[in-house]
Structure 1
Amino acid sequence: MTKVRWHLAALCGVVTALVLGLIAVAPASGATGVTATFSKSSDWGSGYEGKYTITNGGTSAISSWTVEFELPAGNTVGSVWDGAKTTNGNRVTVKSTWNGNVAPGASASFGFNATYSGNSGNPVYCRIDGGTCDGTGVTPTTTTPPPTTTTTNNPGPGGKINLGYFAQWTVYARNYHVKNIHTSGSAAKLTHINYAFGNVSNGQCVMGDRDADIDKFYDAGASVDGVADSWDAGALRGNFNQLRKLKKMYPHIKVLYSFGGWTWSGGFGQAAQNPGAFAESCQKLVEDPRWADVFDGIDIDWEYPNACGLTCDASGFGSFKVLSEALRDRFGSSYLVTAAITADGSNNGKIDKADYGGAAASLNWYNVMTYDYFGGFSPQGPTAPHSPLTSYPGIPADGFNSDAAIQKLKSKGVPASKLLLGIGFYGRGWTGVTQSAPGGSATGPAPGDQGEAGIADYKTLKTRCPATGTVGGTAYAKCGNEWWSYDTPATIGGKMGYTKTQGLGGAFFWELSGDTSNGELITAMSNGLK
């Protein structure tokens, strides 16, 4: 990281894409003129990403839709976005959520990941609101009786999100580049990358670091694909071009442009005063024709709405919901719109300060920053793990653990499938510690290796200060007079088990450069989410 702390509470194997054209399937519509069309965007040999586009070709608006389809034997739907899924065997029913209102001539859509053994096939049966997908309103014929639909909250095997942050400044002193995502083997295990950060200034989305983002030259040896950047006028360089090349090599990866973070969250309050103008500025930047193909979504990292982070915000309980709605309206239903949010599960804590339940209807998922609960920013201690999964006797603060945050968000109406558990690829530590067990006193933060005292990468700590115990579902280490806490492959395995048990949408981590050169931690996440 840089000298500033950016975050404080902060699918397969190598794939071969098979990009297909729009594949029409027997349409589904009880309302004459309303159609549902199936398409695949990629197929990696053991799964694919599918999409249904609902188009209102009628003369009257519709306020909701339900698409029902059936996959061939050996095909299974995993995660679904922009719709609510229920399943019974190979029959899948998806109902509209926030995107049910479709005006005449307009379209809405939902997407899904599917896995298969043997051959991949298109849906063999489809209907919308009880009628065929071709808009005639006729009830479709089927060789199997319509099943009684059973609700499931589990996104399904192989359908979990595994998202990692790429921090733009790692290309400088840390010497970590987009190519490292490939050479470490991490790209094959990621589903999404959040590119951090864009700034929020004067109520608008603006570029964070032009040199790193679009100007930095990569020669053939440093480039993802072994081809040097062009110096031609108007040619795209920097991280954006490297991400473009990475996506060509790994077409299953989706990239989101993340705005804000610990240092740049101060502008969100002003943005919330005119959310429409803010959303317009973000869309123009993210979808700039020079790099529109790089990004599949936008992520908002506001630390924290109607609460205090680096600065204090007083925009009100509803500001985050309004901002999220504006972004969804501007980017549309086919674009990913997500948010990184607080994991403060205490009574009257940060989760209680904003309408996270209401905003969830406009967002694909939340990256719940279940880390940085405790650390050397409290110089005298007591020592405690910065990313506890659960509470434990003697924990310094009630509600400061991952499970408390997840349960509180669920209680506010956020679907479990829209929650991603956060993992830190770093540790936090103290010096002047004599007690091996958690709860000891300290004299200050331990020497760090990221330009900030009290914080160090996993790749450093695994040999500098190996783990000596576990507490609250995560690891800690005592070496000399230093005390550190961090996640290991073993504790990540336990956290991924929790993710599946709770029916969460998956997990994410901050950030890629903290892992080992062969991706130990992301491998543990990927294996644990299967």
Structure 2
Amino acid sequence: MKKKILFALSLLLGITAVSVPAEAHTKYKRVAYFIQWGVYGRNYHVKDIDVTGAAAKLTHLNYAFGFVNAEGTCYSSDPWADWQRPVPAEQSVDGVADAPGQALNGNLNQLLKLKAKHPHLKTLISLGGWTGSRWFSDAVLTPEGRTKLAQSCVDLWLRGNLPGLEPGAAAGVFDGIDLDWEWPGSSGHPDNVFRPEDKRNFTLFVEELRAQMRSYASGSLLSAFLPAATAKIDAGFEVRRVFRALDFATIQGYDLRGSWELQTGHNGNLLTDRRDPNPVRYSVDQTVRDYLSRGAPARKIVVGVPAYGQGWTGVKGGGDGLYKPADGPAPGKWGAGTEDYKDLVTKPGKRYRDFRTGTMWLYDGNEFWSYDDPAVLMQKAAYIRLKGLGGSMMWSIDQDDAKASLTTALYNVLR
């Protein structure tokens, strides 16, 4: 039955199945990000990954984020959430509250409990992100700086030597490191430092970090989050050489268009839309092709998928609302122009689907939302299989619904 579904989806995708070694289909990476700050307003805890059923269907969990400081070392951006907050019984993976005086509290202790319950699950600390990449360029500018940064990251996050705790208190929490420098050689957050030398220095840092990680534990994992835009790829990444040092890389498959623009579009379309009026057209497929043509091995490419949507308000022009002018970002629970899948699925309005581009969207005559539902993710998962890619990555797990519908859609195809 699964082969029939994949064949049907391949016809919808317009893809000719490539010859893929049998072992390539034996195991796919199903990665999701867990946001450290979700334990606050979002009230989403490590336990929820388990109770929704998502933990059993993931292979890797990226914990976002650790930061790099102006001194060129790794540090925790929120020690309270990471290891200081006493977790009550009702929020604990095993139903046992953190005891006064125990060695490790917070999210990191809960990750240990989650891994004990799901031994197959690998966890990685993700370094950087949109607001945590400011000092990467300075930190890796010299050989001494690269050595210092790599040593501090291994010591803090892998050896588990956390400030204020006994040495090794958090050893074993993380199985590896995920680099999320946004972006080497090109602009990201307005405060970021970047320079042309970042391209070579990123490669050299990845190789230094890889060497130090292997010295600590030969099986430790190293991944990176990489951009979709070709200009950012070419400005910041020696693709072939970087991929040799990585176990895998997750490529950006969302925010291809967004509410920072005054025209609606697709958040994460699988295939390029020939109707797209923009001078530069983006798609997941184009990004995959760009990395393959630059020397990335298919089996190491993990495709990013969104568990949220991009939204616009004041959308004019009628019809289905696609590629129409808008007044600005639509209101969202956690920020203008963005909304979680679990909230979008209940929004009123007419829904449109285009299998030719691997997209769906909602339009009520005023608000327009582009987001992925389980059917879209099955289409993307079929693409991943048919192209012999490494798997999927979701940003972020808290945005899925209480039944883990998006996670399950990916799992049903990528296993």
TM range, smaller chain: 0.7 to 0.9
Residue aligning to 1:350:
232
Q: Percent identity at matched positions?
A: 39
Residue type at the aligned position of 1:492: L
Choose from 308, 318, 331 the match for 1:426.
Answer: 308
Judge conservation of contact 1:390–1:404 (CA < 8 Å) in 2: yes
Residue type at the aligned position of 1:329: A
Cα offset for 1:483? 0.3
Residue aligning to 1:78:
none
Judge conservation of contact 1:165–1:512 (CA < 8 Å) in 2: yes
- After the TM superposition, which residues 254-403 of structure 1 pair with which residues of structure 2 at under 5 Å, given as runs? 254-273=122-141, 274-286=145-157, 287-288=159-160, 289-310=168-189, 311=192, 313-314=194-195, 315-332=197-214, 333-345=218-230, 349-353=231-235, 354-378=237-261, 380-381=262-263, 383-395=264-276, 396-403=278-285
Counterpart CA distance in 1 for 2:406 and 2:358 is 15
TM-score (norm. length: structure 2): 0.87
Q: Deviations over 1:392-420 (max 9, x none)?
A: 12322435211111111111111001100
Q: Does 1:445 align with 2:329?
A: yes
Counterpart CA distance in 2 for 1:466 and 1:248 is 43
- After the TM superposition, which residues 36-55 of structure 1 pair with which residues of structure 2 at under 5 Å, given as runs? none
Considering only CA atoms, is the larger Rg found in Structure 1 or Structure 2?
Answer: 1
Counterpart CA distance in 2 for 1:265 and 1:416 is 27
Q: Deviations over 1:30-82 (max 9, x none)?
A: xxxxxxxxxxxxxxxxxxxxxxxxxxxxxxxxxxxxxxxxxxxxxxxxxxxxx
- After the TM superposition, which residues 116-131 of structure 1 pair with which residues of structure 2 at under 5 Å, given as runs? none
Q: Which runs of 5+ in 1 are unaligned?
A: 1-150
Counterpart CA distance in 2 for 1:507 and 1:184 is 19
Residue type at the aligned position of 2:151: E
Residue aligning to 1:244:
112
Judge conservation of contact 1:431–1:482 (CA < 8 Å) in 2: yes
Judge conservation of contact 1:269–1:313 (CA < 8 Å) in 2: yes
Q: What is the SS of the residue equivalent to 1:313?
A: coil
Q: What is the SS of the residue equivalent to 2:58?
A: coil
Higher relative contact order structure (alpha carbons within 8 Å, sequence separation ≥ 6): 2
Choose from 503, 510, 517 the match for 2:388.
Answer: 503
TM-score (norm. length: structure 1): 0.69
Counterpart CA distance in 2 for 1:341 and 1:466 is 34
Q: Which runs of 4+ in 1 moved over 6 A?
A: none
Residue type at the aligned position of 2:381: M
Residue type at the aligned position of 2:181: W
* Greater share of helix: 2
Counterpart CA distance in 2 for 1:488 and 1:397 is 27
Q: Does 1:182 align with 2:65?
A: no
Q: What is the SS of the residue equivalent to 1:304?
A: coil
Residue aligning to 2:7:
none
Counterpart CA distance in 1 for 2:284 and 2:184 is 20
* Greater share of strand: 1
Q: Does 1:518 align with 2:403?
A: yes
Q: What is the SS of the residue equivalent to 1:495?
A: helix
Q: Which runs of 5+ in 2 are unaligned?
A: 1-18, 161-167
Counterpart CA distance in 2 for 1:476 and 1:152 is 32
Counterpart CA distance in 2 for 1:368 and 1:496 is 14
Q: What is the SS of the residue equivalent to 2:63?
A: strand
Residue aligning to 2:6:
none
TM-aligned CA distance change 1:369 to 1:458, over 3 Å? same
Residue type at the aligned position of 1:294: V
Residue aligning to 2:78:
209
Cα offset for 1:167? 0.3
Choose from 219, 238, 245 the match for 2:88.
Answer: 219
TM-aligned CA distance change 1:462 to 1:397, over 3 Å? farther
TM-aligned CA distance change 1:474 to 1:297, over 3 Å? same
Counterpart CA distance in 1 for 2:193 and 2:248 is 25
C-alpha RMSD of matched pairs (Å)? 1.5
Residue aligning to 1:168:
36
- After the TM superposition, which residues 61-210 of structure 1 pair with which residues of structure 2 at under 5 Å, given as runs? 153=21, 155-202=23-70, 203-210=72-79
Judge conservation of contact 1:344–1:399 (CA < 8 Å) in 2: no
Q: Deviations over 1:326-367 (max 9, x none)?
A: 11011014210110110114xxx1111121221111110101
Counterpart CA distance in 2 for 1:223 and 1:516 is 20
TM-aligned CA distance change 1:462 to 1:224, over 3 Å? same
Q: What is the SS of the residue equivalent to 1:405?
A: helix
Judge conservation of contact 1:155–1:417 (CA < 8 Å) in 2: no
Judge conservation of contact 2:321–2:368 (CA < 8 Å) in 1: no
Q: What is the SS of the residue equivalent to 1:460?
A: helix
Judge conservation of contact 2:137–2:198 (CA < 8 Å) in 1: no
Q: Does 1:235 align with 2:103?
A: yes
Counterpart CA distance in 2 for 1:443 and 1:248 is 49
Counterpart CA distance in 2 for 1:242 and 1:153 is 38
Cα offset for 1:317? 2.5
Residue aligning to 2:16:
none
TM-aligned CA distance change 1:278 to 1:467, over 3 Å? farther
